[in-house]
Amino acid sequence: MRYDDNLTAARPTFVTHLECSMTGERYEADTLHGLSRVGRPLLVRYDLDAIRGAVSPADLARRPADLWRYRELLPVRQTANIVSLGEIATPIVPLRKIAAGAGATTLLVKDEGRLPTGSFKARGLVMAISMARELGVTTIAMPTNGNAGAAAAAYAAQAGIEAVIFCPDDTPEINVREIAAQGARVYRVNGLIDDCGKLVGAGKAANGWFDLSTLKEPYRIEGKKTMGIELAEQLGWELPDVIFYPTGGGTGLIGMWKAFDELEALGWTDKKRPRMVAVQSEGCAPMVRAWEQGERHATRWEDAHTVAAGIRVPQAVGDFLILDAVRQSNGFAMAVSDAAILEAVDDAARLDGLLLCPEGGATLAAWRKALAKGLISPDDRAMLFNCATGLKYPMPDNSRTLDRHAPIDFAAL
């Protein structure tokens, strides 16, 4: 097949309706929606029986290895509305030395930093922007801790959609400049991401922007869902024992759990599911607190702070969906310290040559903590998610200098 076959070939679509994740109320497909009437995320539903008859895992294996090979399980109807910057299948990388050092059999990383704009936010935003284009949106607005805004700006530029992005004023500088370079209007705000979200809401009311905030439209979940489908395909349609996922807004965890539901209904995977672990920082752990207290909803975390900006989300609109997936999978929520995060990032690079972002480092720190506490077995096939390339983040300068004009003691080098 041609490299762009997934983007250009006419393929059937199977969306039947949208559904409120809280009440089950049905909403019409092919219509612009935000949250449901009760203020909760909408989920896209498909005719899975028809999909089963239309496509098989063998069909997928013959297609180019990118996100769009799953078109039958995605919401975009018209190929003309697909935007793409080359959403490749991301590799699974073993951390052999770290696993061996901990006495574990297998430790794997799904390295999402290989995607366009360097993060897994590309998955959600390519789908949200493609659907915005299909449904006639001309201006999107959203809050970001960095990587989501960069992905939104890039895809909006390609789609010809205006983008307005608000970020906390301590957002990593590379992200802020990346967003602006890709044509969006980006504003630094003296607050956290939920404060930025309030500005988006006010701008939506004043200017008619479409709110592309996490889970406030239905399609970012569908893009992030592809992590679960792709992971299953890469492992021969056998899911790992446990998944450690860096959890802020939680779209990816929710999306993967939805993918596993759909794959099981299609008969592509069996009933064995991974235990889902929601990983947060000790400085911002609303899901961990709610999980420990047995609550279905998480109250806002005050004074949120962490080196892992991507999981610094004080309150998530999809809190109950995250916690439901964790509990249904017999998983758990776990917070780790910033010191453990930074140690994990350093170890992964130094021992196994993989540059993790801080959020990815959090999953490694949580795996170590869970192993030490006996929450997982050393024989469990564990999958960590590295959500962005480590190249986007500051690294310590451990280099040394040489004066080429002076005598050099090569034996000492």
DSSP string of 223-235, one letter each residue? HHHHHHHHHHHHT
361, 342 contact by CB (below 8 A): yes
> Residue 352's Cα: distance from chain center in Å?
23
Sorted by sequence, the CB contacts under 8 Å of residue 314 that are 6+ apart come out as: 192, 193, 194, 284, 286, 300, 301, 302, 304
Residue 293's identity, in one-letter code, is Q
Pairwise CA distance, residues 51 & 266, whole Å: 8
What pLDDT does residue 54 have? 97
pTM (2 d.p.): 0.95
Classified as helix, coil or strand, 20 is strand
Region of 160 (left: φ > 0; alpha: ψ -120 to 50; beta: rest) is left
Q: Are 125 and 150 in contact (CB under 8 A)?
A: no
Is 287 in contact with 322 (CB distance < 8 Å)?
yes
User: Where are the strands (E) in 47-119, listed by range?
Assistant: 92-94, 106-111
Query: How many CB atoms within 10 Å of residue 383?
Result: 23
| Residues in a beta bridge with 246 | 279
Is 303 in a helix, a strand, or coil?
coil
Question: Distance between CA 356 and CA 366 in Å, rounded?
Answer: 14
- Give the separation between CA 339 and CA 393, rounded to whole angstroms: 16
**In the chain, how many H helices and how many E strands?**
14, 13
Q: Strands 275-281 and 242-246, how do they pair?
A: parallel
Write out the chain's pLDDT in tens, 413 residues. Answer: 899 999 999 999 999 999 999 999 999 999 999 999 999 999 999 999 999 999 999 999 999 999 999 999 999 999 999 999 999 999 999 999 999 999 999 999 999 999 999 999 999 999 999 999 999 999 999 999 999 999 999 999 999 999 999 999 999 999 999 999 999 999 999 999 999 999 999 999 999 999 999 999 999 999 999 999 999 999 999 999 999 999 999 999 999 999 999 999 999 999 999 999 999 999 999 999 999 999 999 999 999 999 999 999 999 999 999 999 999 999 999 999 999 999 999 999 999 999 999 999 999 999 999 999 999 999 999 999 999 999 999 888 999 999 999 999 999 99
Strands (E), 302-345: 332-336
